[in-house]
Amino acid sequence: MKIINTPREMRALSQEWRCAGESIGFVPTMGALHEGHLSLAQAARRECNKFVASIFVNPTQFGPDEDFAEYARPFERDCALLEEVGCDAVFAPAPQDIYGAGGSTASLGARAFVEVGGLSELWEGATRPGHLRGVATVVAILFNVVRPTRAYFGEKDFQQLKVVEQMVHDLHFDLQIVPCETVRDADGLAMSSRNARLSPAERQAALLLSRALRAGVEMAHSGECDTTKLGAAMQAVCSEHPAVEVQYIAVVDAQTLATLPALDGRPARTLIAARVGSVRLIDNVPLN
C-alpha cells in the first residue's frame, strides 16, 4: 500500500491507472476509522480495480468553536486497517498541500469554494454555518486530485451525501457516487469517530437518538402520516435523558431534504442532530 502525501504524486498515479483502463474506487475520510469507514472501504475494494482512501482532517469544515484541534488522528492505526482491507494507496496530504501556506487555519473567505445552493442552507447548514461549503469544496479538490471512477459515502452523513451527489451532477464531475448504509453498533448507535469521546454514561444517553428514530419508523409503519406527531414522539424519546439536547428532528423529502408536512408516499427520511454532553451527534433513517 502506497502512502502518498502530495497532490502531484496522487494525480500521476491516478492518471496512470485511468489510462490503463482501471476503475478507481475512492473513500474520502478524516481518519479515526471505524466499522462505518471500513464498510465503505470493503465496497470500494470489491467493486473497483484500484482502491484509494484519503485521510485528511479538513480545517474548512470545522467552525471556529468546533473540535478541529482535538479531532483524533491515529494515522498508523488507520493505515493498518486500510492495508487489511487491501487498499492500494492512502492519500494523506498536509493542510498546506491542499490550502497552501497557513493551511491548517484555512478559511474559504478569500478562496475559491463550491457551494450547493438550497441544500446547503438546511439542517447541518443552518446549525453549522460554512460546514457544508467546507465539505463540498474539499471533496471537489479531492475529486480533482484523485480522479476516481466511483466514490463511496456513508448515509450516516445524509445531507453531506446529498450535497456531494448534487455537486457531482451539477458540475459534471466524471464519476459515480455510491451511497452506503449506516453501520451501527449492536445497541443501535450509529458509528462515528466522535463516539470515542462519549463517557460511558453519555454513550448510554446517546442511544436515545437511534431509539427515537426507530420509534418514528414504527409509528410510520403503523400508518401515522402526520410528521408533526412523528416529530413530537421522537422528541419525547430524546427527553428521557437530560444529557441529550436535540438540535433538530426533521421528517424530510429524501431528495430535497425539505420538511414534509405529511408522509405522502415520496421517499422520506428522518434526520436528527443532538448534543450529548459535549459531543455533537447526528443520525438518520429512511421512513419508507
Catalytic residues: 37
Which stretch in 13-21, 68-76, 83-91, 148-156 sits in contact with its own copies by CB under 8 A? Answer: 13-21
Contact 211, 219 (CB under 8 A): no
Q: Residue 191 carries which DSSP code? A: P
Cell matching residue 201 = 454514561
* 116 vs 244 by CB, closer to its own copies: 116
Q: Would you count residue 35 as binding its own copies (CB under 8 A)?
A: no
* 145 vs 272 by CB, closer to its own copies: 145
Contact 129, 63 (CB under 8 A): yes
* 86 vs 100 by CB, closer to its own copies: 100
Binding mask 183-222 for its own copies (x = CB under 8 A): ----------------------------------------
Which stretch in 30-38, 107-115, 240-248, 266-274 sits in contact with its own copies by CB under 8 A? Answer: 107-115
Q: Would you count residue 64 as binding its own copies (CB under 8 A)?
A: no
Q: Whole-angstrom Cα distance, residue 193 to residue 64?
A: 19
* 119 vs 190 by CB, closer to its own copies: 119
Contact 11, 145 (CB under 8 A): yes
Beta bridge partners of 280: 275
* Least CB distance to its own copies at residue 178 (A): 19
Q: Would you count residue 111 as binding its own copies (CB under 8 A)?
A: yes
Q: Would you count residue 22 as binding its own copies (CB under 8 A)?
A: no
* Least CB distance to its own copies at residue 155 (A): 20
* 167 vs 281 by CB, closer to its own copies: 167
For residue 152, give every residue at least 6 positions away whose Cβ sits within 8 Å of its Cβ, in sequence order, or none.
25, 26, 27, 40, 41, 43, 44, 178, 180
How many residues line the site for its own copies (CB under 8 A)?
34
Q: Whole-angstrom Cα distance, residue 190 to residue 203?
A: 11
Q: Would you count residue 69 as binding its own copies (CB under 8 A)?
A: no
Handedness of CA 71, 77, 80, 85 (dihedral sign): negative
* 134-163 residues near its own copies, rule: CB under 8 A: 136-137, 140-141, 144-145, 147
Q: Whole-angstrom Cα distance, residue 235 to residue 254?
A: 20
Cell matching residue 91 = 492519500
* 59 vs 231 by CB, closer to its own copies: 59
* Least CB distance to its own copies at residue 89 (A): 17
Q: Whole-angstrom Cα distance, residue 62 to residue 128?
A: 8
Q: Would you count residue 52 as binding its own copies (CB under 8 A)?
A: no
Beta bridge partners of 53: 27, 90
Which stretch in 62-70, 172-180, 188-196, 231-239 sits in contact with its own copies by CB under 8 A? Answer: 172-180
Q: Whole-angstrom Cα distance, residue 272 to residue 192?
A: 14
Tell me which H or E stretch contains 284: strand 279-286
The footprint of its own copies (CB under 8 A) covers 7, 11, 15, 18-19, 98-99, 108-119, 136-137, 140-141, 144-145, 147, 166-167, 169-174
